[in-house]
């Protein structure tokens, strides 16, 4: 628990969460969601929760972002808000 490290990651976490929901291009939203997942994984690794971090790295930043991009490809890419 290094305070400065965790604080910077938390600030980035809030910023990526807000940006991922505000961009109009859905492909960028999925990719920024992948960044959000990866930052979560770093946070948990810093809290000594290694199993949870491993699972989130494999599932969130890997498979979940791919599912989102596959769906965006098959539906439309622009969103109105």
Residues that bind another protein (CB under 8 A): 1, 6, 10, 13-14, 17-18, 20-21, 26, 29-30, 33, 36-37, 40, 43-44, 47-56, 58-60, 62-64, 66-76, 79-81
CB of 66 to another protein, least distance (A): 6
Contacts 24+ apart (CB under 8 A), 3-6: 5/46, 6/43, 6/46
CA–CA separation, 52 vs 31, rounded Å? 21
- Of 81, 17, 76, 75, nearest to 43 (Cα)? 17
CB of 77 to another protein, least distance (A): 10
* Closest to another protein by CB, 4 or 20: 20
* Closest to another protein by CB, 4 or 75: 75
Which letter does DSSP use for residue 56 in this model?
H
CB of 61 to another protein, least distance (A): 11
CA–CA separation, 32 vs 20, rounded Å? 6
């Amino acid at each position: 628990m290094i305070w400065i490290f965790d604080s910077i990651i938390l600030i980035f976490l809030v910023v990526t969460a807000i940006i991922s929901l505000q961009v109009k291009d859905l492909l960028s939203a999925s990719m920024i969601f992948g960044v959000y997942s990866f930052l979560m994984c770093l946070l948990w690794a810093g809290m000594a929760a290694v199993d949870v971090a491993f699972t989130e790295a494999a599932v969130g930043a890997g498979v979940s972002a791919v599912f989102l991009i596959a769906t965006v490809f098959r539906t439309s890419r622009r969103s109105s808000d």
